[in-house]
Chains A and B, each alone.
Chain A
Amino acid sequence: RKEVEQDPGPFNVPEGATVAFNCTYSNSASQSFFWYRQDCRKEPKLLMSVYSSGNEDGRFTAQLNRASQYISLLIRDSKLSDSATYLCVVNSANGQNFVFGPGTRLSVLP
């Protein structure tokens, strides 16, 4: 089983839609979780960290379910500019570095 798994998509949604991505991880000892956004031909950039209690940043909400070992990202009122690949990131088994999921591609359509 891969350490971090995501549905690769693509998710094609109309503007204004709500879309949710899930990510599962295999290492139950992981403590740090993040969502990154990567635009085409650009480096990944941190979108938000994921906290145990869940956290919200504008239209973006991240949730963590430790029991089921999954993380989710909810995007409300999608904008064209949200089109990107969303990478789930979890710290590795040794805690020293981070494992990237394969990414979920989102296309928001006009």
Chain B
Amino acid sequence: SAVISQKPSRDICQRGTSLTIQCQVDSQVTMMFWYRQQPGQSLTLIATANQGSEATYESGFVIDKFPISRPNLTFSTLTVSNMSPEDSSIYLCSVWDTATYEQYFGPGTRLTVT
């Protein structure tokens, strides 16, 4: 199974600032995703990170607010821009392993915006 690490694991940020979250996978994967899980809620897909092209965003999420990079098949970043308290959430990186036909998640980044 794919092993995924995320940095930072948690952060407390002031409103109006930006935070970039890194996701590293121990093997090459085609499909990488970024999810958000707000307190007490289930996971919501933000976007699919495409290697070599722009990310594909879900309804309600835009590139200006959540720019994503995917420079290669093992790494991706998600930036939460111009943060507000409503952005306080856990952000999870995920990959789809086409070998095992399973989806794996990173440990998440717990973001608190004050």
Interface residues of A (CB under 8 A from B): 32, 34, 42-46, 49, 87, 89, 96-103
Interface residues of B (CB under 8 A from A): 31, 33, 35, 41-45, 48, 56, 92, 101-108
For A42, what are the chain B residues with a Cβ–Cβ distance below 8 Å?
Answer: 107
For B33, what are the chain A residues with a Cβ–Cβ distance below 8 Å?
Answer: 97
What are the nearest 9 A-B pairs in CB distance? A43-B105, A100-B43, A102-B42, A100-B42, A103-B42, A43-B108, A46-B102, A44-B105, A43-B107
- Dominant secondary structure of chain B at its interface with chain A: strand
Q: Once the chains are docked, how many angstroms separate the CA of A87 from the CA of B104?
A: 14
Q: How many Å from the CB of A105 to the closest CB on chain B? A: 10
Q: How many Å from the CB of B51 to the closest CB on chain A? A: 14
- The one of B42, B102, B107 that contacts A49, using a Cβ cutoff of 8 Å: B102
The answer on a CB contact under 8 Å between A44 and B43 is: yes
The answer on a CB contact under 8 Å between A49 and B106 is: no
For B108, what are the chain A residues with a Cβ–Cβ distance below 8 Å?
Answer: 43
Q: Once the chains are docked, how many angstroms separate the CA of A71 from the CA of B104?
A: 21
For A98, what are the chain B residues with a Cβ–Cβ distance below 8 Å?
Answer: 45, 103
